[in-house]
């Protein structure tokens, strides 16, 4: 076992899949010689050539349309959108074509494509390049939605996404690209719909996604100093969602805090909270479910304002203490 960065794990997963399956190729803006907006595909064109590492025009709708079409004809495209905000330009191809064609064709056609895209704030990229819009696509039947938080998870989940016969929206948080964890050399797969207990605890369950997993773990370390034992659950995939692991944890702890970076209003945290409330875990709860999310405002450019727009470690700590009625 060796350590890889999150970015390196993404590249390794794609490279291994491309070596094993000639039907897998990648396409997107500046992904060839330049190596992509964040350098994820750097060096891949030298190994696989321009036919399988395809630079595209600056047209997210065109990129998504080409991916849908090639997937329908038997290929397994991986398209990269430089920023997740740009998914708005490709929504018709994603929502009205990719998500629905397998159903509309009675299973005779399938769309095995992966849309990879960097999401989230924290890089000073401002309002049009820092959003977290995963709840939008999670709302659409036919799409699978993945949000890995570690290098180990991103490699295994990306393999599973590429092997899946359905369209998968694969969110990679910008701030996670430089984080490291132990990653096996060999290819491996993590099933979509399998959550991970990142930390075990007994007093409260924190369900967190993407960058918030790391902040929740940091908060849990601080809470432990005050005698509070927090369990941290990383869903890893929003669709399908591993409800069983979350419900089992909340049934044990009796309290739940749900935290994500996206705007709280209409965010996916509301779906998780509702699922908990409608489950048998509700009978074991000792306090209302709390949600933490971003403020209802565009992400600011100013670094201090940007930081205040989304949950930070002290916010998670305070939410847990409020849930436990601790000062």
How would you classify the pairing of strands 76-80 and 24-28? parallel
Tens of pLDDT, residue by residue over 247-260, are 999 999 999 999 99
Q: CA of 290: how far to CAs of 90, 201, 240, 315, in Å?
A: 33, 17, 22, 12
Q: Kindly tell me if the per-residue pLDDT of 301 is higher than 80.
A: yes
Q: What is the DSSP string of 29-63?
A: TT-SSS--TTSTTTTHHHHH-TTTEEE--S-HHHH
Over the stretch 188-241, which tens digit does the pLDDT of each residue have?
Answer: 999 999 999 999 999 999 999 999 999 999 999 999 999 999 999 999 999 999
Q: Active site includes 139? A: no
The pLDDT > 70 percentage for the chain reads 99
Q: What is the DSSP letter of 97?
A: I
* 167's tokens: 């369209």
- 129, 173, 214, 260: which is the annotated catalytic residue? 129
What does pLDDT average to over the chain? 97
Asked if residue 187 has pLDDT above 90, the reply is yes
Q: What is the pLDDT of residues 48-82, one digit of tens each?
A: 999 999 999 999 999 999 999 999 999 999 999 99
Task: Report residue 326's pLDDT band, with 50, 70 and 90 as the boundaries.
Answer: low
* Residue 1: per-residue pLDDT: 79
pLDDT of res. 327: 41
CA distance 154 to 265: 27
Tokens encoding 279: 């489950």
Please tell me the predicted confidence (pLDDT) of residue 2: 93
* Dist CA 57 CA 123 (whole Å): 25
Beta bridge partners of 291: 258
Domains of the chain: 2-183 (3.40.50.970), 196-323 (3.40.50.920)
Mean per-residue pLDDT, 161-189: 98
pLDDT in tens, 102-151: 999 999 999 999 999 999 999 999 999 999 999 999 999 999 999 999 99
pLDDT tens for 260-290 read 999 999 999 999 999 999 999 999 999 999 9
**What pTM did the predictor assign?**
0.96
- The answer to whether the beta carbons of residues 143 and 169 sit under 8 Å apart is yes
What pLDDT is stored for residue 246 in this prediction? 98
């Amino acid at each position: 076992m060796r350590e890889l960065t999150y970015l390196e794990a993404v590249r390794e997963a794609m490279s291994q899949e491309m070596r094993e399956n000639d039907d897998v190729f990648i396409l997107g803006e500046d992904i060839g010689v330049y190596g992509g907006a964040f350098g994820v595909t750097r060096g891949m064109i030298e190994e696989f050539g321009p036919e399988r590492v395809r630079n595209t025009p600056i047209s997210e709708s065109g990129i998504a349309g080409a991916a849908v079409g090639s997937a329908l004809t038997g290929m397994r495209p991986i398209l990269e959108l430089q920023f997740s905000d740009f998914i708005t330009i490709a929504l018709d191809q994603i929502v009205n074509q990719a998500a629905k064609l397998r159903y509309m064709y009675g299973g005779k056609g399938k769309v095995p494509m992966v849309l990879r895209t960097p999401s989230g704030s924290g890089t000073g990229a401002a309002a049009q390049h820092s959003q977290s819009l995963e709840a939008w696509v999670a709302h659409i039947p036919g799409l699978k939605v993945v949000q890995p938080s570690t290098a180990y998870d991103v490699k295994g989940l990306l393999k599973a996404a590429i092997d899946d016969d359905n369209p998968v929206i694969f969110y990679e948080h910008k701030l996670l690209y430089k984080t490291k964890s132990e990653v096996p050399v060999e290819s491996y797969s993590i099933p979509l719909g399998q959550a991970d207990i990142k930390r075990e605890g007994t007093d409260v369950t924190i369900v967190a996604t993407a960058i918030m997993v790391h902040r929740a773990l940091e908060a849990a370390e601080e809470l432990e100093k005050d005698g509070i034992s927090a369990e941290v659950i990383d869903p890893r995939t929003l669709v399908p969602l591993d409800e069983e692991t979350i419900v089992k944890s909340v049934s044990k702890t009796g309290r739940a805090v749900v935290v994500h970076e996206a705007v709280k209003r209409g965010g996916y945290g509301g779906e998780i909270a509702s699922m908990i409330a409608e489950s048998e875990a509700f009978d074991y709860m000792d306090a209302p479910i709390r949600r933490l999310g971003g403020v209802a405002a565009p992400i600011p450019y100013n670094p201090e304002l940007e930081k205040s727009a989304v949950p930070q470690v002290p916010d998670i700590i305070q939410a847990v203490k409020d849930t436990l009625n601790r000062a």
